[in-house]
Structures are given as structure tokens and as C-alpha cells.
A and B are shown apart, each in its own frame.
Chain A
């Protein structure tokens, strides 16, 4: 297998692109779990106490937006590393 000549062709830009892809991709795992957890808990709480639905909904969106933003932290810092 021509692995060594292949490695010799790898450029810095290519490595940076791979790093951005892997970093941003791994960064989505945590928030993915978190967002799922939030909505799961919301369903659980609303089925337990349907009269609390309005209050829970507003907290739910706050939690959702705070968690979801973490994906973009990974992505933006990946981009910063990519371009600098």
C-alpha cells in the first residue's frame, strides 16, 4: 500500500480542514445529548404535571437555546483555528 507517498502529499491546509471537521463534529455530540435530555425531561414533567405546562415551556426554550449554542462555540472556534 502506498501509504507513505500519500502522507507526503498531505498539506497543512488539508490537515486543518480535517481538524475543523472532526472538532466541529465531536462538538455536536455533547449538545446533542443535552438537547435530547432537555426535551425528554420536558415531556416527562408535562405528563406528570400538565398544569405546569406554560411555565415549563418558557424554561424549556431557555435551556434549549443555551445548550444549542455550544455546537456553535465548537464550530466558531474551529473556524478561528482554521483561518488563523
Chain B
């Protein structure tokens, strides 16, 4: 062990790679399987309804995404209500964590980007968005037995298998959240200033005369681009994170037809998994809530 510690850094890195590469090659020689048909990473994003439930032309069949949404909403509500009902003067660890999150949401996200009256009115909305997206992102990285892709047959029953999936990795969920935010801040802006003054407020202060018209057009376009950027940011981050984990955890090996390569890419999958769970899941919830607060604050602010 001591000789290992004294090696130069380059030799350590080389040893690490060799420890991965040599078993990969050996596995490839011993078990020359192509892996095809064993694992299909794209199965994660297939949404098959559990039960068919149709009300006339409206398809209401619950599938995996619906279940994840309900789960995220349930966990958010349950956790917050449970802690709110058992507040103690001397907080335990869970209460401290939630209180820290609460203070952070109130002071940094809401009050940092809106004036006090607006922050008081819209803090619940922003905080709910943050908590819901955060819980939704986090349960997306826990393997849950909800996947209908590769059912296991036990006594004639087709049981779903464990897999990861996030409701936020489906464009509909971020899009609906975004539309909610967009409607909220437009309504709030019109309520604070009146419709004409609000639309005029899009043009930055100090721009007048002939130059105001093209800038107004650009501002109108940017209002629509906001819908795309806010929703696609969350959706694409979660989708790309899940794709990276799936491809590194076996998908790449199957596509290339070298099953042994999966041994080499699995540690990379773990690195991505930790990176997503530690940084991206929280960061995306934070960004969504912060941008909501910024848009709301900007809609009622006197100058653009």
C-alpha cells in the first residue's frame, strides 16, 4: 500500500485506467457478447399507459410520467406539511435543513429579486415551484419499480422493473410550469401598471422616438423566447443528464455492439450520476425559481 502512495500522479492515473481497461479487454475476449436486445436505453422514455382511461376524445390514461408527477407533488406536500405541523423550539436535523431552505428561498430568491410587497405576495408561488421541481428532479435519480419497458414475468404477472425517469425530463411538465409563470407575471404587470403602461414599459427607459419601435419588436420577441428558454433549460438539462447516465451505464456498449465496454463506462456513469444529483438537480430548481422571481419583479418595476 505504501509503495502505491509514493508513485507519481501520472502513474496512479495510468494504473487506474489499466485497472479498468484490462478487465474490459479480458471480458471482451471471454464473453464476446454484443449485448444487443439485453438493454435498450431508449425504453426509459417510452410512456406506456398502465390502465386505459378515456373520457370521450380525452385520453387520461395514467402512465409513468403521471405517476412521477403525483409522487413529486405528494412528497412535496407531505414533507412540508409534516414539518410545518411539528415545529419545535429546539429543531432537529430535518427541521433545520428545511428551515435553511426556507430562509434561502425567502431571502435570496424572493426578496433578492422582488420588492417587499411583491415578495410577500409571490414568495409562496416561487417557493412551491422550487420545492416541487427539486423533489421532482431528485426522485428522478432514484430507481423506482415503475418501468414498463422490460417487464419480469413472475407467475404470469408482468412486474415492472426498476429504472430512473424524471417527470421534468418530459417537455410537457416544464412547459406547463413555464406557461403558469408567464401568465402570472403578465397578469401581475398589468395589474400593477395598467395594460398600456405595462406594454410601454417593455421599452428600456431613455429610448425614445424612432429607435423605440425596433426595440419594442425585439422585446416582444424576447417575451416569447422566454417561454422556450425557461422550459427547455429545465427539460434539456434533465433529459441530457438521464441520457448521459443511461448511455454510460451500458447504452453506449450496446449500441457499439461491445458489451464488455460497459465495464469501462460504468464508473463514468457514476460520476455523471453524482454530478447530476449533487449539482444539476438543485441548480435547475434554483434557476427556475430565481428566473420566475426576476420576471415577476421586472414586470412591476418602474423602469425596465
Q: What residues make up the interface of A, taking CB atoms closer than 8 Å to B? A: 58, 61-62, 64-66, 68-69, 71-73, 75-76
B290 touches A62 (CB 8 A): yes
A61 touches B236 (CB 8 A): no
26 pairs, CB–CB < 8 Å, chain A vs chain B? A58-B108, A61-B283, A62-B286, A62-B287, A64-B283, A65-B233, A65-B284, A65-B287, A66-B233, A68-B237, A69-B229, A69-B232, A69-B233, A69-B236, A69-B237, A71-B240, A72-B232, A72-B233, A72-B237, A72-B239, A72-B240, A75-B240, A76-B235, A76-B236, A76-B239, A76-B240
Residue of A nearest to B290 (CB): A62
* A64–chain B nearest beta-carbon distance, Å: 8
Query: Which residues of B from 220 to 259 have beta carbons under 8 Å from A?
Result: 229, 232-233, 235-237, 239-240
* A32–chain B nearest beta-carbon distance, Å: 15
Question: With A and B bound together, what is the CA distance between A72 and B239 in angstroms?
Answer: 9
Question: With A and B bound together, what is the CA distance between A76 and B236 in angstroms?
Answer: 7
A73 cross-chain contacts in B, Cβ below 8 A? 229, 232, 236
Question: With A and B bound together, what is the CA distance between A69 and B235 in angstroms?
Answer: 10
A66 touches B232 (CB 8 A): no
* A82–chain B nearest beta-carbon distance, Å: 13
* A4–chain B nearest beta-carbon distance, Å: 28
A71 cross-chain contacts in B, Cβ below 8 A? 240
B259-273 contact mask (Cβ, 8 Å, vs A): 1 or 0: 000000000000000
* A23–chain B nearest beta-carbon distance, Å: 14
B261-304 contact mask (Cβ, 8 Å, vs A): 1 or 0: 00000000000000000000001101100100000000000000
Question: With A and B bound together, what is the CA distance between A75 and B240 in angstroms?
Answer: 8
A65 cross-chain contacts in B, Cβ below 8 A? 233, 283-284, 286-287
A76 touches B287 (CB 8 A): no
Residue of A nearest to B294 (CB): A62
A61-B286, A65-B287, A73-B236 known; 20 new pairs, CB 8 Å cut-off, are A58-B108, A61-B283, A62-B286, A62-B290, A64-B283, A65-B284, A66-B287, A68-B237, A69-B232, A69-B236, A69-B237, A72-B232, A72-B233, A72-B239, A73-B229, A75-B236, A76-B232, A76-B236, A76-B239, A76-B240
Residue of A nearest to B234 (CB): A69
Question: With A and B bound together, what is the CA distance between A71 and B239 in angstroms?
Answer: 12
Question: With A and B bound together, what is the CA distance between A71 and B280 in angstroms?
Answer: 14
* A73–chain B nearest beta-carbon distance, Å: 6
B108 cross-chain contacts in A, Cβ below 8 A? 58
Residue of A nearest to B171 (CB): A76
Question: With A and B bound together, what is the CA distance between A58 and B108 in angstroms?
Answer: 9
Residue of A nearest to B287 (CB): A65
Question: With A and B bound together, what is the CA distance between A71 and B240 in angstroms?
Answer: 10
Question: With A and B bound together, what is the CA distance between A64 and B284 in angstroms?
Answer: 11
Query: Which residues of B from 45 to 81 have beta carbons under 8 Å from A?
Result: none
Question: With A and B bound together, what is the CA distance between A2 and B287 in angstroms?
Answer: 53
B108-133 contact mask (Cβ, 8 Å, vs A): 1 or 0: 10000000000000000000000000
